[in-house]
Amino acid sequence: MEKIKIIFLGTSQAIPTATRNHTSILLSYKNENILIDCGEGTQRQFRKANINPCKITRLLITHWHGDHVLGIPGFFQTLALNNYSKMLHVYGPKGTKKFIKEILKIFIKKNRINVKVTEVDGKFFENNDFALESIGLEHGIPSNGYAFKEKDKLRINKDKLSKILKRNKLTFNDHKKFGNLIKGRNIKINKIILKSKDLTYTQKGRKLSFVFDTKYCKNAIKIAKNSDLSIIESTYSKNEKDLAEKYKHLTSGQAAQIAKEANVKLLVLTHISQRHEHKENGLLKEAKKIFPQTKIARDFMIVEV
């Protein structure tokens, strides 16, 4: 099974700290490298993590607050100076087209990079391997949560196939023909019919979700539903619930409650306020009381699903 790799390039809230850069996460899967938000300093984080920014294929923007987007001008300049040759697909909430147009106008010479911008709501991308979905959250400005949903795959039960071949004394070197089994087709070897339904099983696709700046809301639960991994902002502690409500953010306990109600397998807390610098374990303990399968993100932490 192909790994889905998450690298946390930045895990702070609005003000970065000595140990936490502004928000940015990289999702790598097969030939896709999807950047979720691009806070100030992200291109330097690429360098520290030994990541080539020209490998980025898509940029997902959750919302247009500075700590999530101020790294975009520098990122675009880096791509232009390195002769980025792909089409960069940029997705975001309402207003994204206008903001990206202004960034390109101010910082990038005409036609130096190819950027396609789409303002999204619901499913907005799909290929043979996965789909991307968005949903509106509640943060006072247009703000999206995102989900990466791998498609279910039909797989060959190799042990079962091996036993049938051995029992019938069959030798077969045309392995490409076995590919028909995972297309739902039967194959024939020396008059023996091998049925797809008997020799295959469904490998359920994995789901990852990203719930950044928002207050506690139903849509946060909806986008996180049944995620193998959900990455959720945790700006405040339970003692700061009034601040969370005022600024439309989540406490660590609310993030854990979302994970619990959404039947998530693993929760990772991010977007940590500077006021919790070196005291993050307090947030972690609060969350674990509600949802034990919780971790707290740190810059350059890697999670594989």
Catalytic residue IDs: 67
* Residues in a beta bridge with 8: 25
State the CB neighbour count (10 A cutoff) for residue 32. Answer: 18
Q: What is the 3-state secondary structure (H, E, C) of the chain?
A: CCCCEEEEEECECCCCCCCCCCCEEEEEECCEEEEECCCCCHHHHHHHCCCCHHHCCEEECCCCCHHHHCCHHHHHHHHHHCCCCCEEEEEECCCHHHHHHHHHHHHCCCCCCEEEEEECCEEEEECCCEEEEEEECCCCCCCEEEEEEECCEEEECHHHHHHHHHHCCCCCCCHHHHCCHHHCCCEEECCEEECHHHHEEEECCCEEEEECCCCCCHHHHHHHCCCCEEEEECCECHHHHHHHHHHCCCEHHHHHHHHHHCCCCEEEEECECHHHCCCHHHHHHHHHHHCCCEEECCCCCEEEC
CB 113 within 8 A of CB 88: yes
CB 11 within 8 A of CB 284: no
